[in-house]
Amino acid sequence: MKFYDPTGETYGIPTFPRRLAPEGLATRRQLRAKGLRPGGQDVAAQILWHGRRDPLTRTRPVRAAYLYRLDLALPVRPMTPGRARAVAAMMRARRTCPLCEVTYSYVIPTSLGCCPGCADHPTTALAA
């Protein structure tokens, strides 16, 4: 069976194919869904699988998900008022156009670097 190496001889750490990881191990997302975090522990195992085929090279890349032990996981740190203010300020900065300085209800696209209105009419934004 491809990617099945529970001893870690081939890949360096225990490796399993998708849906065959043993009980007691979880990915970061699974830990977070349970209100846990890795808490500084090392990776216990990994899951490997083939990703989608690249249309240009026609190859399938190998994807990886790292697994952590549930018994060593710690609870997620609670959100403090200071962290909540910092996150709010960060999100406000991501929603504010640097050219027209308007704060929108959505995050400004990084591909444009400004709001869509300023991207469509850059001369009027600079005059304002």
* pLDDT attached to residue 125: 52
* pLDDT attached to residue 2: 87
How do the domains of the chain map onto residue ranges? Answer: 15-75, 81-127
d(CA 4, CA 47): 9
* pLDDT attached to residue 106: 94
Specify the pTM.
0.70
Amino acid at the residue 55: P
Per-residue pLDDT tens listing for the chain (128 residues): 789 999 989 999 999 999 999 999 999 999 999 999 999 999 999 999 999 998 898 999 999 999 999 999 999 999 999 999 999 999 999 999 999 999 999 999 999 999 998 988 866 555 55
d(CA 69, CA 77): 18
- H or E stretch at 68: strand 62-69
